[in-house]
Structure 1
Amino acid sequence: MEQKKFKRTTVTAALPYANGGVHIGHLAGVYVPADIYVRYLRLKKEDVVFIGGSDEHGVPITIRAKKEGITPQDVCDRYHKIIKDSFKEFGISFDIYSRTTSQTHNKLASDFFRKLYDDGKLIEKETEQYYDEEAHQFLADRYIMGECPHCHNPKAYGDQCEKCGSDLSPMELINPHSTISGSKPVIRKTKNWYLPLNEYQSWLKQWILEGHKEWRPNVYGQCKSWLDMDLQPRAMTRDLEWGIPVPVKGADGKVLYVWFDAPIGYISNTKELCEKEPEKFGNWEKWWKDPDTRLVHFIGKDNIVFHCIIFPTMLKAHGDYILPDNVPANEFLNLENDKISTSRNWAVWLDEYLKDFPGKQDVLRYVLTANAPETKDNNFTWKDFQERNNSELVAIYGNFVNRALQLTKKYWNGIVPECGELQDVDNTAIQEFKDVKDKMEEYLDVFKFREAQKEAMNLARIGNKYITECEPWKVWKTDPKRVETVLYISLQLVANLAIA
């Protein structure tokens, strides 16, 4: 099947929860690969927009607020600033990094829901849910804890057991209790609005399983496992206080489900950007409604179902929006052979790294890309960090650049000399460089960033080999004109390496 030619690309990176900082797992899984891809498109002078922002609704925010005795907005304000500042200092080149508590987002998300409601695309259902009589509120999944029915971990949540990894529903827990009051919850009836995923199942099968076989195996495989089962209607509203109020009469005390609200943040943040800089980015709708725009979501594997099944169904039901063309989701990064855990504080936090290793942003980018969990979970160790810095960045990359610049300083006072007649060794090095550039582009086009970086490092190896073979320090005594050409080519290789 011939690949479609697009006029522009909208790139989104998963919105981190504003209830804590960003760690190396987030960077390796989402933000570094997304940034590499966007920088690549910009180098090719392609029309691209890079959208990020904080996810400021949902239960994790309110849990932290209750724990600290502050408001959810206080939590969001604190961590939004930490995350935004960390990304900026680290060099993640978002065109905008906004938030889902903005007025622009509130209105767009409300209007989106209202259109689905008015068009009859949502169904109203009454269900039974756990209710905390002491706290006087219905309990979201994360406000319920009990014994896992599979591994009998006594601290499983209402949506997942973090010990065995099983997906759960609150009703499956043994001896459940409220994490708010500690009391045993009772069952009460409540009304919510659902997106009937089952009505879109045949369309999803056709769109993903037939239309996107080029997606990464982990993404395609997870989608297939969901689509091989009978999809069920998914609630798009919740009985919570913190969030965007459901814009429907009789929906008091209900807010939009965070996974309905959050991905719309990509759209609202684009709208906010275009309204701020219309001369540069134009109308926001061209980035989200024009079929000539390619939409690419960078996410972690735990968000595949939301970005490949739920959000596309929302977009399809709405009718005005384009659908994602690719969703390059990564697996997880472990730390020192142990799963990264925010609850255990087992992580390398970006804001702390930037303080402890000033000026070492590129070292971390390099190591995380070298260990990118593109096809399977991978591991970060400080020993590997040290070895890659010393034996690759310093001994190969740094060595070549230093040799080229020092020789130029020694023989030509730091001035770039002119290129003379090329010899076979020169042409070979130039051709090898061109071959590597072509390979890098092939890998970047299909989101294989680890392989692309390996090829980039090969540029430095070619440069070192070229200088060693040409021996300008010997040739200088008999043929300084020849040395001009060797140094000229070496400096051109350095310039190309800087871009790579």
Structure 2
Amino acid sequence: MAQKIREAEGLLRSVPNHGEQILPRDGEKNVLITSALPYCNNVPHLGNIIGSTLSADVFARYNRTRNRRTLYICGTDEYGTASETQAIKEKITPRQLCNKYHSLHVETYKWFDIGFDYFGRTSTPLHTEISQEIYRNLGKNGYLERQTKEQTYCEDCSKFLADRFVEGTCPHCGADDARGDQCDSCSRTLDAIDLINPRCLIDKHHKVVTKESAHMYFRLDEIQPRTEEFVRRSWKEGHWSPNSVINAEGELIDARLKQGLRPSPVTRDLTWGVPVPVDEDDKDGMRGKVLYVWFEACIGYVSITANYSTEWKRWWFDHKNVKLYQFMGKDNVYFHTIFFPSVQIGDGRPWTMLHHINTTEFLNYEGGKFSKSKNRGVFGPAARETEVPVLPRTTMSC
């Protein structure tokens, strides 16, 4: 059946040879597809499959049958506290943890017959290089500012508690298991200091206080007018999913846009991550800090493409010939429709930016949404052990 599809009139007539890199062509419709990068702190579950990879895979297969130059990339999101806290629980290093789970992700998606053209990871030298370059460009263009603010600090651990090292009560919905970066119950992004009754993840009996620390902030407020212009244009041209940042009447519905964007932190007091690039004098006091994972995570799409091909810029700096389609769960919408496009605008280069976003609702299980951090859901290896076939192979071939 696969061969018949390939030989059908008007459909896929040219199949790239094995090992041949897929690159866009001028004057043609070139399609760049991404699935949300899963955290590398556990094996993937059905929420990951339903939420981003399955729909993206179907769309990629469709475009290939239409004879379009199509590149479908994904990979594991490996930096930040999600990996670091899990490594502590498993008593191994973050690098060992990511090596372990990256392999399990690859095996699981292979069993599900997800047809990535390249599945990479963010803990690579190229990811560091590209992330640091974007950070420097934002600074050169005047979109970074140093702020000193109170942060949660564990006196017993003698360190700042960024993101998932601290939990507490969500100030918006009252959920008692909100993390320092996000509340799973209401999907609001958070600052750890906003949590009510914060607790140290290492030991909930440790004393958590607030203490000043200097960090660099991205001036989203300065970018907002240009971001809104992009959102309105791309939403209309790309036919974004209904649960994105604009409603059917073309009105902005994201509370952060409506209330006005505020400077967002892009550095953290951690060790596992992309080092903040500093000059010799380090006048901003950023030495020893890392880039915030929410800042560099979406850059992972770019760096993974760069690991796939040295000619990655042909995909990411050609908005005239390349259309970017991104697939994810609704909790990632803000970072793909507002935050990362703002970073691209502030960087100043002619980026290929979001054309269409496809977002899904949460897949629920046992009273809550699927969650790797809470170990809730049906996970890939368990699904494979049932020996129930994913789909007949003939129906999935292209």
Query: Smaller-chain TM-score range?
Result: 0.7 to 0.9
* Aligned counterpart, 2:305: 270
Matched, 1:307 2:332: no
SS of residue paired to 2:271: coil
User: 1:116 & 1:253 partners in 2: Cα distance?
Assistant: 20
Deviations, residues 1-44 of structure 1 (Å, cap 9, x unaligned): xxxx8631111111101100111111111000000011111111
User: 1:126 & 1:152 partners in 2: Cα distance?
Assistant: 28
SS of residue paired to 1:127: strand
1:8 to 23, 27, 30: 30
Deviations, residues 236-291 of structure 1 (Å, cap 9, x unaligned): 1111111010001332221011122111111111111113xxxxxxx211100012
User: 2:190 & 2:231 partners in 1: Cα distance?
Assistant: 26
**Residues 195 and 235 of structure 1 are in contact (CA less than 8 Å); yes or no, is this contact kept in structure 2?**
yes
Q: TM-score, normalised by structure 1?
A: 0.67
User: 2:186 & 2:131 partners in 1: Cα distance?
Assistant: 35
Matched, 1:286 2:314: yes
SS of residue paired to 1:328: strand
Amino acid at match of 1:202: P
Moved more, 223-232 or 190-199: 223-232
User: 2:322 & 2:340 partners in 1: Cα distance?
Assistant: 17
Q: Which has the higher strand share?
A: 2
* Aligned counterpart, 2:8: none
Matched, 1:241 2:268: no
Moved more, 215-224 or 65-74: 215-224
Q: CA 1:164–1:322 in structure 2 vs 1: closer, same or farther (change >3 Å)?
A: closer
SS of residue paired to 2:309: helix
CA apart distance, 1:298: 1.0
User: 1:113 & 1:246 partners in 2: Cα distance?
Assistant: 8
User: 1:66 & 1:78 partners in 2: Cα distance?
Assistant: 14
CA apart distance, 1:153: 4.7
**Residues 13 and 297 of structure 1 are in contact (CA less than 8 Å); yes or no, is this contact kept in structure 2?**
yes
Q: CA 1:116–1:6 in structure 2 vs 1: closer, same or farther (change >3 Å)?
A: farther
The percentage of counterpart residues that share the same residue type is 37
Moved more, 154-163 or 176-185: 154-163
Amino acid at match of 2:220: L
Amino acid at match of 1:206: E
**Residues 32 and 92 of structure 1 are in contact (CA less than 8 Å); yes or no, is this contact kept in structure 2?**
yes
Matched, 1:143 2:165: yes
Matched, 1:227 2:257: yes
**Residues 209 and 224 of structure 1 are in contact (CA less than 8 Å); yes or no, is this contact kept in structure 2?**
no
User: 1:206 & 1:9 partners in 2: Cα distance?
Assistant: 23
Moved more, 334-343 or 108-117: 334-343
User: 1:48 & 1:129 partners in 2: Cα distance?
Assistant: 44
**Residues 209 and 220 of structure 1 are in contact (CA less than 8 Å); yes or no, is this contact kept in structure 2?**
no
* Aligned counterpart, 2:243: 218
Aligned runs of 1:66-215 on 2, under 5 Å?
66-149=88-171, 152-162=174-184, 168-181=190-203, 182-213=205-236, 214-215=239-240
User: 2:295 & 2:322 partners in 1: Cα distance?
Assistant: 22
SS of residue paired to 2:372: coil
SS of residue paired to 1:362: coil
Q: TM-score, normalised by structure 2?
A: 0.83
CA apart distance, 1:296: 1.2
User: 2:190 & 2:298 partners in 1: Cα distance?
Assistant: 23
SS of residue paired to 2:74: strand
Q: CA 1:325–1:176 in structure 2 vs 1: closer, same or farther (change >3 Å)?
A: same
Q: Which has the higher helix share?
A: 1
User: 1:71 & 1:200 partners in 2: Cα distance?
Assistant: 38
Amino acid at match of 2:58: I
* Aligned counterpart, 2:68: 46
Deviations, residues 331-378 of structure 1 (Å, cap 9, x unaligned): 1122366532435533111122123225x1217x9xxxxxxxxxxxxx
Aligned runs of 1:455-466 on 2, under 5 Å?
none
Give 1 or 2 for the bigger CA radius of gyration: 1
User: 2:289 & 2:49 partners in 1: Cα distance?
Assistant: 33
**Residues 6 and 294 of structure 1 are in contact (CA less than 8 Å); yes or no, is this contact kept in structure 2?**
no
SS of residue paired to 1:217: coil
1:322 to 340, 352, 355: 352
Moved more, 303-312 or 162-171: 162-171
Matched, 1:254 2:284: no
SS of residue paired to 1:120: coil
- RMSD in angstroms over aligned alpha carbons? 2.4
Matched, 1:355 2:385: yes
SS of residue paired to 1:221: coil
Moved more, 223-232 or 68-77: 223-232
User: 2:354 & 2:317 partners in 1: Cα distance?
Assistant: 11
Gap regions ≥5 residues in structure 2: 1-26
User: 2:286 & 2:170 partners in 1: Cα distance?
Assistant: 33
SS of residue paired to 2:352: coil
Greater relative contact order: 1 or 2 (C-alpha under 8 angstroms, separation 6 or more)?
Answer: 2
User: 1:42 & 1:261 partners in 2: Cα distance?
Assistant: 30
Q: How many residues align?
A: 357
Q: CA 1:362–1:112 in structure 2 vs 1: closer, same or farther (change >3 Å)?
A: same
